[in-house]
Structure 1
Amino acid sequence: MSMIRVVWGTGSAPTAMASYDAALAAAGVENYNLVSVSSVVPAGVDVEAVGTAPDLGPVGERLTVVEARATTTGPGRASAALAWSQSIDDGPGLFYETAGEMDREAVERRVREGLEAGQELRDWTFNDPNVVVESSQAESGTYTTALVLAVYGESEPIL
């Protein structure tokens, strides 16, 4: 695994699933099968916030991700946040995610609180946290999804 890329996007559509697909497209990962994992960053791996993913391999392959995702119907606000921090000296780290129908400030506060709680459970010395928040207002009659993903490496064959 070369790196973990943090990507994000929002999308609106007439159905919840279509808005999720549109948000995945905005993040550049719409053509992969996502497999969610918990929130540990392996030692020695760089984490980089890139916004939109580059080409990560053939269509239909599996991507391992940590996912923060919220979907709402209008009028409403969907917000998602992902925070991470790695231990000093290139050691392991943590991702924490939260999402819901709340404003940017609330989702950021919650994800920072969660990350801090997770750090307290471990006997590691952490660097300062990083946070990405994605938020969007849904128009009446549509669904909107906001998401932030940590994408581990590149795609792998699913079969």
Structure 2
Amino acid sequence: MSLIRVVWGSASAPTEMASYDAALAAAGVENYNLVSVSSVIPAATAVEAVGTAPDLGPAGERLTVVEARATTAGPGQVSAALAWSQAVDDGPGLFYEVAGETDANDVDRRVHEGLRAGQELRDWEFTEPNVVVESEQAESGTYTTALVLAVYGDSEPIC
């Protein structure tokens, strides 16, 4: 059985890209090249919320991810949420991501709504949803990023 790890982090820095890099570091995936995919979980795949990724392979390799990410210039608040549910009996599943310059309650509500809408499009019987929300206050003069990632397996060589 394959494994998808859900990781999250937030951070502030003097530039938008630096805050994104620092949030990736908080999640443990700063040394990889991320390749985003849409939000379908393959059948017979476990999903585990781990917070910070373990060592997933050599630096510079590719990681396949579903990413919820938002960055804001302070002052303000930034939040990201990732929800998932899988079909019963080890079937496929669905991720849904929401992020924005808003509070944790707003992204939590919207991610549940989005996941329900995605479930209605599929003829699968789903398990109860799981949700991870990351939210952070941005101070004036800084950029702040909040992110939640679903990381598919371990890293793979790019070339």
Q: Do they fold alike, i.e. is TM over 0.5?
A: yes
Deviation at 1:39, TM superposition (A): 0.1
Structure 2 portions without partners, runs of 5+: none
2:76 is the counterpart of 1:76: yes
RMSD across aligned C-alpha pairs, in angstroms?
0.6
2:8 aligned partner: 8
TM-superposition CA deviations, 1:26-47 (whole Å, max 9, x none): 0000000000000000000000
The code of the aligned residue for 1:64 comes to T
Return the letter of the residue paired with 1:139.
Answer: E
Map of 2:29 onto structure 1:
29
TM-score (norm 1): 0.99
* Cα offsets for 1:43-84 (capped at 9, x unmatched): 000000000000000000000000000000110111000000
> Which residues of 2 match residues 85-104 of structure 1 at below 5 A?
85-104=85-104
Distance (Å, rounded) in 1 between the aligned partners of 2:38 and 2:114: 13
Mapped to 2, the partners of 1:74 and 1:123 lie a distance apart of: 43
Q: How many residues align structurally?
A: 159
Gaps spanning 5+ residues in structure 1: where?
none
Q: Which amino acid aligns with 1:72?
A: T
The aligned residue for residue 61 of structure 1 is: 61
Q: Which residue of structure 2 aligns with residue 110 of structure 1?
A: 110
Q: Runs (4+) of structure 1 moved beyond 2 Å? A: none
Q: Which amino acid aligns with 1:16?
A: E
Q: Distance in 2 between matches of 1:19 and 1:68?
A: 15
